[in-house]
Amino acid sequence: MVQPEVLAALARETLSHTDPRFVEIYRHALMRTRELFACHQGEVFVLAGSGTLAMEMSLLNTVQAGARILVLSQGYFGDRFAQIAQCYGILVDCLTAEWGRQVAASEVASMLSRNRYRAVTITHVDTSTGVQADLETLVPLIKQHGALVILDGVCASAALEESMSRESGNPASTLDVVLTGSQKAIGLPPGLLVLAMGEQAMAARQAMPTVPAYYGDVLNWLPVMQNPSRYFATPPVNLIVAYETGLEGIFAEGLPARYARHRAQARAFRAAMRSMGFTVLAEEDLAAPTVSCLLYLRGIEDVAFRKALAQRGVIVAGGLAHLQGKAFRLGHLGNVTARELRQAVIAMAEVLQEMGNPVDREPALSAFDGLPE
């Protein structure tokens, strides 16, 4: 869902990237981005691109060819880090969880004690499985071993806390890099990448004389991020204006309230789905507040189900990889409201009925009782 004020910001007259009005908006958007991640000591980068480019930049700016990283994968997007690393000659060990589960902390500990890793990548929420990583356990463990923690927040940032602050947490458990794209919980159209790099991550880049990238080299962007009246490559002006508007909406809601709303809505949605007979792939204590992967009831045909839902205005995605045809995914993140999720449940009940699987929708809908609309 993109809010009307964000769409209106996109539709505003396009300013020159050197226009002082735009420079001020960019500066403010960067300041808000720092606040979002409590990135007070490091640097933030808001650029044209998608989450994948941010993943790529997070690796190429911190890890040299020939160095080794550990990828913690709980699904399709975790594996992508390993593919990117291979393109840059970075050596990779990968711990892969069965889809729907987390990587076991004991296995991470064992890998960390046997090898020296420059960085460990974590996918905060893997969009393919709806599983949330256990940052509270993993981050201190990784930091004890001196590796950088790189967090993919594409399906989490602005919906789950991702603090890089040294003051408010234990300095030994600081995230070093957080990256995301504009299109998920930030509630913008796709097109922007957001990359926050802490002090140690920036020091890692500074220590490398060169990196195998030009657009993707954060040192080329640093002067612009410190003073957006400077030029390196033309920024996507309207998207940045819209991003600043979107962030204002996020801060008007308040981060703690926003995180709590996501948790409450997600819990209610999953309860409703279970009550209609679906299985949530992730167990409740691992399930993400942003997206759910739901296994079909026996006999429900995937494409027909999603098509019938789309005709009712509810867009869900199919399962990825081996879950194709067996599961679908629904995003409950960003600006989505409890009312919209309730409507989605009603639409699903109608479609199930149409497909010859009638369900009692009332117990499912009661899961939303007490939530603000």
Q: 368, 336, 186, 158: which is closest to 258 by C-alpha?
A: 158
Comparison of 280 and 349: residue with beta carbon closer to ligand PLP: 280
Comparison of 276 and 333: residue with beta carbon closer to ligand PLP: 333
Min dist CB 251 to ligand PLP, Å, is: 23
Comparison of 191 and 308: residue with beta carbon closer to ligand PLP: 191
DSSP state for residue 301 in the 8-state scheme: -
Min dist CB 354 to ligand PLP, Å, is: 30
User: How far, in Å, CA of 30 to CA of 89, rounded?
Assistant: 32
Min dist CB 178 to ligand PLP, Å, is: 12
User: How far, in Å, CA of 160 to CA of 146, rounded?
Assistant: 25
Burial of 364 (0-12, 13-18, 19+ CB in 10 A): buried
Min dist CB 298 to ligand PLP, Å, is: 28
Comparison of 123 and 163: residue with beta carbon closer to ligand PLP: 123
Min dist CB 78 to ligand PLP, Å, is: 8
Min dist CB 127 to ligand PLP, Å, is: 3
Min dist CB 80 to ligand PLP, Å, is: 6
Min dist CB 6 to ligand PLP, Å, is: 17
Comparison of 83 and 366: residue with beta carbon closer to ligand PLP: 83
Comparison of 26 and 77: residue with beta carbon closer to ligand PLP: 77
Q: With H, G, I as helix, E, B as strand and everything else as coil, classify residue 334.
A: coil
User: How far, in Å, CA of 90 to CA of 176, rounded?
Assistant: 18
Which residue pairs, CB below 8 angstroms and at least 24 apart, start in 162-169? 162/37, 162/124, 163/37, 163/38, 164/37, 164/38, 164/39, 164/40, 164/41, 164/42, 164/196, 164/198, 165/38, 165/39, 165/40, 166/40, 166/41, 167/40, 168/38
Comparison of 308 and 327: residue with beta carbon closer to ligand PLP: 327
Residue of minimal Cβ distance to ligand PLP: 51
Positions in the binding site for ligand PLP (CB under 6 A):
50-52, 77, 123, 126-127, 152, 154-155, 181
User: How far, in Å, CA of 340 to CA of 343, rounded?
Assistant: 5
Phi and psi torsions of 126, nearest 5°: -85, 120
Distance of CA 257 to CAs 154, 158, 185, 244, 263, Å?
A: 20, 11, 14, 19, 10
* Angle of the 199-206 helix axis to the 218-226 helix axis, nearest 10: 130
Min dist CB 72 to ligand PLP, Å, is: 13
Is 79 within 8 Å of 92 (Cβ atoms)? no
Comparison of 333 and 347: residue with beta carbon closer to ligand PLP: 333
Q: With H, G, I as helix, E, B as strand and everything else as coil, classify residue 150.
A: strand
Comparison of 3 and 52: residue with beta carbon closer to ligand PLP: 52
DSSP state for residue 102 in the 8-state scheme: P
User: How far, in Å, CA of 310 to CA of 329, rounded?
Assistant: 13
